[in-house]
Amino acid sequence: METMKEYIDEAEAALLHTYNRYQIVWDKGDGMYMYDIEGKKYLDFVAGIAVFALGYNNKAYNDALKAQIDKVIHTSNYYYNIPAIEAAKKLKKISQMDRVFFTNSGAEAIEGAIKAAKKYAYLRDGSTDHEIIAMNHSFHGRTLGALSVTGNPHYREAFEPLIGGVKFADFNDFDSVKAQVTDKTCAIIMETVQGEGGIYPADEAFLKDIRALCDQNDILLILDEIQCGMGRTGYMYAWQKYGVKPDIMTTAKAVGCGVPVGAFMLTEKVAAHSLTSGDHGTTYGGNPLACAAISKVIDLFEEMDILSNVRQTGDYLYERLDALAGKCPSIKAHRGIGLIQGLEFDVPVGDIILRALDKGLLLINAGTNIIRFIPPLIATKQDVDDMLAILEESIHE
């Protein structure tokens, strides 16, 4: 067997260096734990960046995928397939939206949402100079369209010019959004809970004011629920906590629990007056394997009462992190909801994360000075206690 270093050296010689990876080669996962090829065990509070909601090696999920593999994996969208039909019905029910377009990733879902909003405005007035308002410190993906609405200049500047007509406002500052609205504004896009930007949930009043502004001006509200959706806030989608329904929403990450899949969803009003045959497409999107994953994930969320667990464990995590913040002078703030929370430090957190890693705990940052907590949604209070014990030790060192 090759050593960890030998595998890493091979990877560095073959893969494009766009990631500063941690020096670990994974072998397997089980429940809340990951195991490297040397057999070391790690408590996982990253979940593949909020993807593995059901934890690792869930037998019912694995069996559903194996069964579909033995039938058919891919057919293309020239034909119908039963898993896609079933997944779309279930996704409509949990999202309260009306129409579904399956993609391969969250960034692709954002691209489709932008196109739908632009087509809606084009059909309304025939113009092609419409504008989109996005939020500072937002993150929507790495493709050119998604980058265009990502509110971090560092990510954008090397790839400009991007798509035009994008303005940026401040999240949770209604006046700053309203000041950007013109008669050309066709959409306002935001994460319901900002993830990469530092774990900032939307204020209820802000969301409601934005919804009213959109209604008054025939502007479409696009909510990005790629990271904060699929139960992570204790609601299937975070906007359901506020009762502020979007016109278009995106989902990915935990919707497939590891299989690369996403979707954008529209209300009937937008679907009937936007994208039509030939406007958008994907070779792999909605394939039987990915849709079998979505279908089983939604079933298991209900069978395992995932939302209830997120609320209970999330409340407990909030109490424990609040207590830690109260006694640790280097922690400036604590934010979040459910199982998407963050601790903001007055120093970079990279060393803390590395020390925790050495002690068998997986954590990631959101920016240089925020630790993000996005564990599998099966996490228990005991898992929180185990995580905190390692985290406190790592901070004090």
Q: Over the chain (397 residues), what is each successive 10-residue block's mean pLDDT?
A: 92 94 97 97 98 98 98 96 98 98 98 98 96 98 97 94 97 98 98 96 98 98 98 98 97 97 98 96 96 98 98 98 96 98 97 98 96 98 98 95
What letter would DSSP give residue 203? P
pLDDT score recorded for residue 234: 98
Q: Which two tokens stand for residue 254?
A: 């935990």
Question: Contact at 8 Å (CB) between 318 and 305?
Answer: no
Instruction: Specify the domain boundaries for CATH 3.90.1150.10 within the chain.
Output: 4-54+305-396
Q: How many CB atoms lie within 10 A of CB 280?
A: 17
Cα(185)–Cα(262) distance, integer angstroms? 26
pLDDT score recorded for residue 90: 98
Q: 3-state DSSP call for residue 331? A: strand
> Tokens 């209300």 label which residue?
267
Identity at 390, one-letter amino acid code: I
Nearest to 257 by CA among 35, 58, 33: 58
Strand bridging mode 340-345 / 361-362:
unpaired
CA dihedral 222, 227, 230, 232 (to 10 degrees): -120
pLDDT score recorded for residue 190: 98
CA angle 67, 73, 76 (to 5 degrees): 145
- Residue 89: C-alpha distances to residues 51, 96, 248 (Å): 21, 10, 17
61-303 has which CATH code? 3.40.640.10
pLDDT score recorded for residue 397: 87
pLDDT score recorded for residue 248: 98
Using CB atoms within 10 A of its CB, is residue 75 exposed (0-12), middle (13-18) or buried (19+)?
middle
Instruction: Specify the domain boundaries for CATH 3.40.640.10 within the chain.
Output: 61-303
Question: Contact at 8 Å (CB) between 336 and 192?
Answer: no
Cα(25)–Cα(45) distance, integer angstroms? 17
Cα(172)–Cα(151) distance, integer angstroms? 14
> Tokens 């690369």 label which residue?
260
**Domain 4-54+305-396 sits in which CATH superfamily?**
Aspartate Aminotransferase, domain 1 (3.90.1150.10)
Using CB atoms within 10 A of its CB, is residue 16 exposed (0-12), middle (13-18) or buried (19+)?
exposed
Q: Characterise 319 by phi-psi region: left (phi > 0), alpha (psi -120 to 50), beta (else).
A: alpha
Question: Contact at 8 Å (CB) between 76 and 393?
Answer: no
Question: Contact at 8 Å (CB) between 294 and 84?
Answer: no
| Residue 100 φ/ψ, nearest 5 degrees | -125, 135
Q: Characterise 352 by phi-psi region: left (phi > 0), alpha (psi -120 to 50), beta (else).
A: alpha
What letter would DSSP give residue 377? T
What does pTM read for this prediction?
A: 0.97
